[in-house]
Structure 1
Amino acid sequence: MRVNLQQENFIFDPSGVAFWESKRILLIADVHLGKIAHFRKHGSAVPQKAILNNFVQLKKVVDAYAPKKIYFLGDLFHSAFNMEFAYFKTWVQEQQADLVLVVGNHDIISPLHFENLGIVIKKEVCLEKFLLTHHPEEREGFLNICGHIHPGFRLRGMGRQHEKLACFFKSKHQLILPAFGTFTGKYLLQASKDDQIYVCTKTEVIPIPQKL
């Protein structure tokens, strides 16, 4: 879905990424690489092949949009250094785009590991009328694009059916991106009448009418 923000066109992808068309910038939040390996190490029955799901999805969106630059809006890696970093290193070496990590609260690995791969580390980034952060912020004159929250929305049917889906959550001063990681939860945000929600299905992004 193409959405206009601050007179700039962005594509909201079902994977949860946002693509800034004129700048060819791909924005990705909360990948949480290493989380599956972390849980497996501590006895959780998660199939090892699930580790590759994030990398398959990363390849898919990069191939689709061919960005010049990729900004990870925090929590790229979930925990301390583990085996998934080797997969990530291989993925990085295949990229043509410049890579920037806006540090999140889970990014506890030494920045040197990322910098040695050519990834630029930032606390925040100001690009024209946009402020890119991990935690939601408000700053006069900017639309804040961020992550951290893992926003979700619950759709309800007539027969008590319900489905909790990841969503893009747009308020007056912020756009909160869905968590990109395949092993992450969803937090149901309470929307006001001026907020806009775009839910992510497997194949499309759907705006939710404000009356719902």
Structure 2
Amino acid sequence: MNFNIKIQNQDFVLHPFGAVYWPEQEVLLVADVHLGKVSHFRKHGSAVPLKATSQNFLKLDQLRKEFDPEHIVFLGDLFHSSMNMEWNMFEEWIGSIDNQVHLIAGNHDIISPLKYQALGIRIFPDIKVGGFHLSHHPENIADHFNICGHIHPGFKMRGNGKQLIKLSCFFKSQDQMILPAFGEFTGNYFMEPEEGDRIFAITGKEVIAVK
């Protein structure tokens, strides 16, 4: 189940997969996919199922079907490192869609921009639109609300007993929202919210406002 919020009189739909749809701009925002990480793990002997390489593409296609965005903006770290078999899968996926795809370069994005340009993908250091600043790293710019990734935010939900559930989350402060990592096996940095911060945890099936 999605969770709808308003920021500066704009609508944003938080999805259980960790993506955000911005209907006024017809933009799907996705952070930290880290394509190629599964293949990297397998290459170094980790027992990761081969089918895990396709999960990110299956989820992206579900989001495309649900929202039909004109634009898909990846907020950095689209690929985990250098090219591997998942680049070929990415090429095939790009060739199968009709959305305009843009990449805000992150610290892991070391693949040549020429490779992306050959696929019709535009690369930016950041994007400013309508009072919003889209970036990879969290940044503070006057008069702009920052939407970003990089941190891989998570939250520890505690039960009445000793139960502890660790979930990825959207982390929203007064002038910023950090998206959870979209990719498989990316890990979390557990956030400590302050007064006024909001936490929207994701389970894969629903978004839960926990603070």
- 8 A Cα contact 2:38 2:184, kept in partner: no
Query: How much does 1:90 deviate?
Result: 0.7
Q: How does 1:128-147 map to 2 (within 5 A)?
A: 128-147=130-149
Find the residue that maps to 2:38 and give its secondary structure: helix
Deviations 1:28-67 (A, max 9, x none): 0000000010111111111111111111111111111100
Name the CA distance, whole Å, in 1 between partners of 2:95 and 2:106: 23
Name the CA distance, whole Å, in 1 between partners of 2:46 and 2:204: 26
Find the residue that maps to 2:115 and give its secondary structure: helix
Deviations 1:140-165 (A, max 9, x none): 00000000000000111123111111
Residue 43 of structure 2 aligns with an amino acid whose one-letter code is K
Where does residue 4 of structure 1 map in the other structure?
A: 6
Name the CA distance, whole Å, in 1 between partners of 2:80 and 2:8: 32
Residue 141 of structure 2 aligns with an amino acid whose one-letter code is R
Name the CA distance, whole Å, in 2 between partners of 1:97 and 1:50: 24
Name the CA distance, whole Å, in 2 between partners of 1:58 and 1:65: 11
Residue 106 of structure 2 aligns with an amino acid whose one-letter code is G
Deviations 1:156-210 (A, max 9, x none): 112311111110000111100010002210110111011011111222111113x
- 8 A Cα contact 2:170 2:178, kept in partner: yes
Where does residue 176 of structure 1 map in the other structure?
A: 178
Where does residue 73 of structure 1 map in the other structure?
A: 75
Name the CA distance, whole Å, in 2 between partners of 1:73 and 1:100: 9
Which TM-score applies when normalising by structure 1? Answer: 0.97
Where does residue 30 of structure 1 map in the other structure?
A: 32
Name the CA distance, whole Å, in 2 between partners of 1:56 and 1:98: 18
Name the CA distance, whole Å, in 2 between partners of 1:202 and 1:46: 19
Residue among 164, 167, 174 paired with 2:166:
164
Name the CA distance, whole Å, in 2 between partners of 1:163 and 1:116: 43
- Segments ≥4 residues shifted beyond 4 Å: none
The unaligned stretches of length 5 or more in structure 1 are none
Find the residue that maps to 1:78 and give its secondary structure: coil
